Amino acid sequence: MLPISGHHPCLERTRSTPSKATDSLLLDRKSSSFNSLNSPTFQQPYLSVLHPRALLFLSLLCLQVVLFVVARSLLISLSFPRGRHHFPAPLTASVPAAATADNLTAASTDTAECSSGRVYVYELPKFFNREIIEQCDNLNPWGSRCDALANDGFGPPATGLDGLVPREVAPAWFWTDQFVLEIIFHNRMLKHRCRTTDPEKARGFYIPFYAGLEVGKYLWTNSTDADRDRHCGMVLRWVQEQEYFKRSYGWDHFISMARITWDFRRTKDDDWGSSCIYLPGMRNITRLLIERNPWDYFDVGVPYPTAFHPRSDSDVIAWQDHVRTRHRNTLFCFAGATRRTINIDFRGLLLDQCREAGDSCRAVNCAGSRCLNGTSAILETFLDSKFCLQPRGDSFTRRSIFDCLVAGSIPVLFWKRTAYFQYEWFLPKEKESYSVYIDRNEVKNGTLIKEVLERFSDEDVRRMREKVIEYIPKFVYAMKEEGLEGYKDAFDVAIDGVLRRFKEQEEWGFKWR
């Protein structure tokens, strides 16, 4: 388990640990107990008729009650300084599937499924989410993003998939943008089976702020630090005013942020990105990101959105059968573009090896925006290949990993931070059961990828592909807001993991109620 403090000392600026107030309170409890037990008043019995052991027991019991009341009062009172209310308090919205006489069976099943707790969704002012979508024409400097955000964030329906996707599954395919996680999570959270409109019954609190969409329009323009931090700062000030945030210091709150963590970790003025993760109030909030900082306990990596959004269990089964029986003519493939500005570009080495491998390798040139949000050429390449090469992208991860997995191709990784240290909740624990790892330095020193992959027998390949196919539901985001019936998709796995984490924190002693 990573340290609760979250940050690696060599990578992050020194900051106070998130549980400082809690640690101080625990020290106060211990000190108070020690002093009370050794005080002359405690050592002198009040009632001579009581046996000394009985007196000791009663005194200790009374002391524990007093300390509990005092500690609880301190936890409630130790909160962020109260300031002006920038926005109204959260509203109460309706939630489906109330436990009435007509659905008692469903309600009991729902209770079992929500054994880790329920989630309360803050109703933020629309300025922080829905209005951002309404301004889709202004979300980047190169043009409108309205098409990319259409269909509840799934984007335009995918075309040109004849022969690649079974006809009955084709309506579940969209050219989905990789940065729409916040829209998908917000829509699904509103209909989640474990949602509650009573915050007293909630174990987790979801903050539906579209941080990634908002900051995206400032990243490639001549914007100021204040521009990039403004919305996040406003949201955090609003959240800190809420009763349930003050109660826990944010330990039971979470947010989805539809970009890589480094876009929210500006440490110097005029540097890249926002400083959202470093702003007051964010420290203890669990953050769901498409790429996490492995040294930060509060970052959780979740899958990039892909083009496949199953409507039902039958869509999942049909697609799994399709990729299982697909005839694959190519040993391995690579979809990507070189980085000419980088000295000894690793992608260039992979493309060189792909060309030298002849018919054993197939490459897709993704220079410019040719592969933006997926193409039929990429899907066909992955479907026809036993293995797919997955170097790091502009950061350590890339969406292509999940495009590859959904196509039933076996990923070949060169950095452990590309997947192994990112998506632990979603990938098999046995790394060799679904992937191949070749250290990048071995490739730089002359190791031939073709020779490494040819060592795997047909049975090895079949076994690894079957593991990938088994996990496909965990890599995709279902189309239905209520989710799938017999499978847990990426959203379900993420929310279950967050609630399980909050439950474990309470069991460890981080109790704030």
Q: For the segment 401-452, what is each residue's pLDDT rounded down to a tens digit?
A: 999 999 999 999 999 999 999 999 999 999 999 999 999 999 999 999 999 9
Model pLDDT, residue 403: 96
The answer, yes or no, to whether residue 111 has pLDDT greater than 50, is yes
Residue 103 located in a structural domain: no
Q: Please tell me the predicted confidence (pLDDT) of residue 76.
A: 34
Do 343 and 389 reside in the same domain of the chain?
yes
Any idea what DSSP says for residue 50? Answer: S
Please give the C-alpha separations between residue 201 and each of 206, 240, 245, in angstroms, as whole numbers.
14, 20, 14
Task: Please determine, for residue 282, whether its predicted confidence score (pLDDT) is greater than 50.
Answer: yes
What is the pLDDT confidence band of residue 513, given thresholds at 50, 70 and 90?
A: very low
* Cα 418 off chain centre by: 15
DSSP category for residue 429: S
Residues 141 and 219 in one domain: yes
* Per-position DSSP letters for 241-286, written without gaps between them: TSHHHHHHTTTTEEEEEEEEGGGG---STT-SS--GGGSTT-TTSE
Q: Which helix (H) or strand (E) holds 330?
A: strand 330-336
Write the CA distances from 464 to 407, 475, 477, 493, integer angstroms: 13, 16, 23, 22
Percentage of the chain beyond pLDDT 70 is: 75
**CATH code at position 402:** 3.40.50.2000
Once rounded to an integer, what is the mean pLDDT over residues 93-111? 39
Q: Mark whether 299 and 327 lie in a shared domain.
A: no
What does the pLDDT average to over 315-334?
97
pLDDT at 354 over 60: yes
Distance of CA 273 to the CA centre of its chain: 19
Mean pLDDT of 99-127: 68
pLDDT band at 508 (very low <50, low <70, confident <90, very high): confident
pLDDT computed for residue 440 by the predictor: 96
CA angle 433, 434, 440 (to 5 degrees): 105
455 with 388, same domain? yes
**Per-residue confidence (pLDDT) for residue 63, from 0 to 100:** 60
- Identify whether 6 is part of a domain: no
Band of pLDDT at residue 351, cut at 50, 70 and 90: very high
Q: Which residues lie below 8 Å from residue 9, measured CB to CB, with a gap of 6+?
A: none
Q: Name the DSSP letter for residue 512.
A: -
pLDDT of 235 > 60? The answer is yes
Say if residue 292 is in the same domain as residue 370. no
> What is the pLDDT, as a whole number, of residue 105?
34
Residues 465 and 485 in one domain: no
- pTM for the predicted model, two decimal places: 0.78
Residue 3, in any domain of the structure: no
My answer on whether 277 and 417 are in the same domain is no
Same domain? For 300 and 283 the reply is yes
- Do 351 and 327 sit in the same domain of this protein? yes
Work out how many domains the chain is built from and give that number: 2
User: What is the model's pLDDT at position 280?
Assistant: 95
Q: What does the pLDDT read at residue 419?
A: 97
Domain of 142? 108-306+481-508
In a domain, 282, yes or no: yes
Phi, psi of 141 (to 5 degrees): -80, -5
The lowest-confidence range among 58-72, 114-128, 265-279 is 58-72
Looking up tokens 């309706």 gives 94
Residue 365 has pLDDT above 90, yes or no: no
240 close to 89: Cβ distance less than 8 angstroms: no
What is the residue-wise DSSP string for 437-481? E--HHHHHTT--HHHHHHTS-HHHHHHHHHHHHHHHHHHS--SST
Query: What average pLDDT does the structure give for the chain?
Result: 82
Whether 85 is in a domain gets the answer no
For residue 87, is it within any domain? Answer: no
User: Is 211 within a domain?
Assistant: yes
Model confidence at 337: pLDDT above 90? no
Domain shared by 118 and 252, yes or no: yes
Q: Are 432 and 367 in the same domain?
A: yes
Q: Which two tokens stand for residue 257?
A: 């942020």
Lowest mean pLDDT among 59-73, 95-109, 195-209, 487-501: 95-109
Q: Within a domain: residue 1?
A: no
6-10, 124-128, 224-228, 405-409: segment of lowest average pLDDT = 6-10
Lookup result for tokens 């807001």? 481
Same domain flag for 324 and 243: no
